[in-house]
Amino acid sequence: MRKTAHNFRSDVALYSAVIAAFLLLPAGVSHAAEESKSETIGPWEIEATFKGDKFDRCSINRALQDDIKATFVRTGDGLTLELASPNWKLERGKQYPVKMTLGPVSFDTEVAAEPSSVSIDVKDKRFNTGLRTANALNIVAAGATIRVPLDSSNVALDRLEKCVEKNEKAVATNPFVAPARQP
């Protein structure tokens, strides 16, 4: 009888350990997948995103009318403009023609589509400068014009550059310490 009580206590301890491990598992998995930290600059929210212990990207975004969100994503490779709306039904991989206007600067280009978003790499220097000086970015598509107000964009874009520089440098300078994970 004494052996049975001992086995019962061992079984309870084992089951408790297994349950505790399962309860901790989702937190560990989500932490390793992707983590972000954010702060606000005027109407823009800036965010630094990490995948596991590696820096992935920094972004600034703001909500627009009609459930549209405008996001500038900056990685070590460059700047990308993304526009997204849960109401859009787009064909993944399709290129949609648009006209981009920043004050007196305008040009025709194509945006790459996902089911509810479009994106374009920002490589043109005039376009990049215009983002900092113009009052608004207008994207004219087949069905509508999307207006992205650029108030506080100069400060937000400067902060975006510093976010990438700081987080890339933190990993490069000390591989034994996790980055601070701040935008």
Question: What does the pLDDT look like over 87-136, one tens digit per residue?
Answer: 999 999 999 999 999 988 898 999 999 999 999 999 888 888 899 989 99
pTM of the full structure: 0.74
Are 21 and 71 members of one domain? Answer: no
Domain presence at residue 69 = yes
Q: Are residues 155 and 92 in the same domain?
A: yes
pLDDT per position as a tens digit, 56-78: 999 999 999 989 999 999 998 89
Of the pLDDT bands very low, low, confident and very high (cuts 50, 70, 90), residue 141 is very high
Same domain for 153 and 67, yes or no, is yes
The total number of structural domains that make up the chain: 2
Same domain, 102 and 58: yes
Q: 15: domain range?
A: 1-31
41 & 118 share domain: yes
Domain assignment of residue 44, yes or no: yes
Dist CA 183 CA 156 (whole Å): 11
Q: Let me know if residue 182 belongs to a domain.
A: no
pLDDT at 82: 97
pLDDT for the residue numbered 161 = 92
Same domain (yes/no): 59, 75: yes
CA distance readout (Å), 24 to 12, 21, 30: 18, 5, 11
**Which of 49-63, 81-95, 158-172 has the lowest average pLDDT?**
158-172
Q: What is the mean pLDDT of the chain?
A: 80
Q: Which residues neighbour 148 within 8 Å (Cβ) at sequence distance 6 or greater?
A: 62, 64, 70, 83, 136, 137, 138, 139
- 91/148 same-domain check: yes
Residue 167: predicted pLDDT = 86
Beta strands in 10-142 (DSSP E): 35-41, 44-51, 54-63, 69-75, 78-84, 95-102, 105-114, 117-122, 136-140
Residues 44 and 66 in one domain: yes
Evaluate whether residue 183 is within a structural domain.
no
Residues 82 and 12 in one domain: no
C-alpha 43/C-alpha 40 separation (Å) is 7
Instruction: Say whether both 4 and 62 belong to one domain.
Output: no
Q: What's the pLDDT score for residue 147? A: 96
Please tell me the predicted confidence (pLDDT) of residue 143: 83
CB atoms within 10 A of CB 29: 9
* 142 and 121 housed in the same domain: yes
pLDDT digits (tens, 9 = 90+) for 4-45: 554 444 444 444 433 333 333 333 333 345 666 778 999 999
Q: Are residues 82 and 124 in the same domain?
A: yes
